[in-house]
Amino acid sequence: MIRQEESRSISENVTWGHRKRFADGKVSLPYGRFLGYEKGPDGLPKIVESEAVTVRLIYRLFLEGKTPSGIAKHLTLNDILTPSGKQKWQSSTVESILTNEKYKGDAVLQKTFTVDFLTKKMKVNEGEVPQYYVENSHPAIIAPDVFDMVQFEMQRRKERGGHHSGAGCFSSKIVCGECGNFYGSKVWHSTSKYRRTIWQCNNKFKGSGKCKTPHLDETTLKQLFLDSFNQLITSRDEISENCKIIKQMLTDTAALDTEADELQRELEIVAELMHHCVNENARIGMDQVEYQQRYNGLAERYENAKARLEKIKAQQQVSLAKREHLDAFLVTLLQQDSLLTEFDEALWFAVIDKVVVHDADDIKFTFRDGTVKLNI
C-alpha cells in the first residue's frame, strides 16, 4: 500500500510537470523515433537537415499523386531508413508524418494521457484532460500552406470513396470517357517473354452495359504523353500567359476572405451571447422552457455560422491548391527547353491532371493549367 502511494505520488508529480510544461507551450518530442528533429541546446526541437529532406520528399510525393503505401514502397526501394532506423517503411508511418502538425512548426500537446499510474496505461485524450495547441512552437520543416494542402488532398481522396490509387504513375489519372470510372492495370502473359502491362476501364467486364473504350499499353501511353507535352513546348508563351490569367482569378479570394472574417465575428458574438444566457439562467432562474428555446436558438445560429465558415475555408483551400499546382506546372514547363524524347515519371506527375479515353483515336490529355491536347 505504501509503495502504491509512493508510485501515485511520483506519477502525479510527473503528470503535473508535464501539464505545466504543456500550459507554458513547451514542446518535447520522442526524438529517437521522430524523423527530422533532434533536441536543440535550448531544449526545443531543432531540424536535422539530412532527415528533413526525407520529410519534404514524402510531402512532395503525396501532392504529386502517390498514396502513403506507394510512398512507403518508394522509400523502401531507395534504401531510405524509417524514423526508427528500419529498412522497410509502413504506410501508417508515412501517413503519420503527413498528418503531424509538428512538421509545420505547431504542436498539439497532451494528445494522450496516463489513465493508470501503476500500469502506465495510456489513452487518447478525448476531452478528459486539457489539450493545448501551440502555434510556431519550433522551426517548421514543411511550410504551413503545403501542410494544409496535404490535409485538404487527403480529405478530398477520402470523399471520393477511397478510389485514389498510387500504385503506378498512371493510377487514378486515366478516365474512361464512356462511364467515368478510372482505368486499372492488368498484366498480360505474366509468365512468358510477351509479358506486358495494359490499362483498361475497371468497369469493362462488369454488369450488362460493358464499356467499349479500348485498353492501352504502357508504351503507347508514354508515347502519347510525350507527343502531347511536346505540343505544349511549342506554344509555351501562350500557355504561360494563360496561366497568369488563371492564377489571378484563383488568387482573387477577397469576397471569401471578407465573408470568413464576418462569420468569425459572428461566432465570437454568438458564443458570448450563449455564455451570457447560461450565466443569466444560473443567476436569476429563468423560465426553463423560455431559457431552452433561447439557448437552442443561439446554438443553432452558432452551428449554421460554423458550417458556413468551414465551407468557405474549404473553398479557399481549393483555390490555394489549384494555384500551387499551377505554379508547379508553369515552373516545370518553363524549365523544359527542348522536346522530350523519353518518358519522365516526375514530369508526368507535375503536369498531368487527367487523361480521358473515348476511343483509340480520341484520347484527351488535360494538363494542370486546364489545357487539353488530343492524341494527334
In CATH, what number is assigned to the domain containing residue 87? Answer: 3.90.1750.20
Residue 152 belongs to some domain of the structure = no
Residues 93 and 203 placed together within one structural domain of the fold: no
pLDDT band at 167 (very low <50, low <70, confident <90, very high): low
The number of distinct structural domains making up the chain is 2
Domain that holds residue 123: 2-140
Residues 136 and 178 placed together within one structural domain of the fold: no
Measured distance CA(223)–CA(226) in Å, rounded: 5
Q: Is the pLDDT of residue 117 over 70?
A: no
Residue 155 belongs to some domain of the structure = no
Task: Pick the range with the lowest mean pLDDT from 228-237, 329-338, 360-369.
Answer: 329-338
CATH number at residue 304: 1.10.287
The cell for 48 is 536535422
pLDDT band at 132 (very low <50, low <70, confident <90, very high): low
User: 183-212, pLDDT tens digit by residue?
Assistant: 988 888 777 777 888 899 988 877 666 788
Measured distance CA(92)–CA(337) in Å, rounded: 40
Residues 6 and 76 placed together within one structural domain of the fold: yes
Residues 133 and 172 placed together within one structural domain of the fold: no
Residue 328 belongs to some domain of the structure = yes
What pLDDT is stored for residue 21 in this prediction? 44
The cell for 128 is 478528459
User: 31-70, pLDDT tens digit by residue?
Assistant: 888 899 998 888 888 999 999 999 999 998 888 778 888 8
> In whole angstroms, what separates CA 359 from the centre of its chain?
34
Measured distance CA(376)–CA(363) in Å, rounded: 9
Model pTM above 0.95? no
Residues 90 and 176 placed together within one structural domain of the fold: no
DSSP strand pairing (174-176 vs 45-47):
unpaired
Q: Nearest 5°: phi and psi at 345?
A: -60, -40
Residues 132 and 175 placed together within one structural domain of the fold: no
Torsion of Cα atoms, 157 then 163 then 165 then 171, to 10°: -110
Residue 153 belongs to some domain of the structure = no
- Comparing C-alpha atoms, which of 374, 330, 375, 370 is closest to residue 353? 370
Residue 11 belongs to some domain of the structure = yes
Asked whether the beta carbons of 351 and 367 are under 8 A apart, the reply is yes
Residues 251 and 299 placed together within one structural domain of the fold: yes
| pLDDT: which is higher, 121 or 88 | 88
Residues 85 and 205 placed together within one structural domain of the fold: no
- Side-chain half-sphere CA neighbours of 176 within 13 A: 19
Q: Nearest 5°: phi and psi at 209?
A: -90, 70
- Side-chain half-sphere CA neighbours of 224 within 13 A: 24
Residues 135 and 218 placed together within one structural domain of the fold: no
Residues 182 and 319 placed together within one structural domain of the fold: yes
Residue 148 belongs to some domain of the structure = no
Residue 40 belongs to some domain of the structure = yes
Residue 214 belongs to some domain of the structure = yes
Largest CA distance in the chain: 88
Look at residue 289 and give its three-state secondary structure.
Answer: helix
The cell for 114 is 496516463
Look at residue 222 and give its three-state secondary structure.
Answer: helix
Measured distance CA(374)–CA(224) in Å, rounded: 9
Q: Is the pLDDT of residue 162 over 60?
A: no
